[in-house]
Amino acid sequence: MTVRAVLFDFSGTLFRVESAECWLRAVLAELEVPLSAGESALAAEALARAGALPGGAHPTHVPDHLAELWAARDRTAELHRAAFTGLAREVPLPDPRLYDALYARHMTPPAWRPYPDAAEVLAGLRERGIGVAVVSNVGWDLRPVFRAHGLDAYVDAYVLSYEHEIQKPDPRLFAVACDALGVAPREALMVGDDRRADGGAAGIGCAVHFVEHLPVEQRPAGLRPVLGLVG
């Protein structure tokens, strides 16, 4: 069956979030909270281990009192915020304002960078008449990130877990994307970095292609094979 549409994951597939250290430094500067370089580095490392940065590393351990929130974190905006700010609060920081400010920072366009070949691949799909949807487990509106980085013009539909209260790998979220693009699941290719979450698309008959979740500098051309898969 010819591929008529491509569904893309967001974080780790088309975009990568900044490092935990850059994330924390930006908020410390914004709030004018003094912290030495060494203390900042240690705090950033602790936040990364805690899994407090959405789009970053998963927690090394989820505290029992946050386990239920963590499992359902992408179903609503409220659960997403509670889960990630809860993880952040497991790390002592010098100013209580930092926890909410860190969460707010990760939703801004400067916190994200597109992979080097993202624009090229999305433009190539548009030239071939292939529909594109972004299917993401997320608790906030990522459309402004795409607009700020010049990629919104290549996206036909956004299917975000918190807007449907369904999170991947539930096949229903991928079905919503296929319906939005007017294609049958067997005519769609899902591209993502998470074998469990993104692999759920196979449950409704979509083809699935995985990319590596690497820093932007280490994956300059990971998306280009997608163009070959659509013919």
Model pLDDT for residues 150-164, shown as the tens digit of each residue: 999 999 999 999 999
Report the pLDDT averaged over residues 99-110. 98
How high is the pLDDT of residue 1? 64
67's tokens: 């386990």
- pLDDT above 70 covers a percentage of the chain that reads 100
pLDDT confidence of residue 39:
96
Output the six-digit token pair for 44: 């950033």
What's the CATH number of domain 5-16+112-229, 3.40.50.1000, 3.40.50.1100, 3.40.50.2300, 3.30.70.2740?
A: 3.40.50.1000
Tokens of 109: 């366009």
Domain residue limits, the chain: 5-16+112-229, 17-111
Mean pLDDT, range 77-106, rounded to an integer: 98
Mean pLDDT of the region 20-42: 96
If you average pLDDT over residues 158-173, what whole number do you get? 98
Residue type, 66: L
In angstroms, how far is CA 154 from the centroid of its own chain? 17
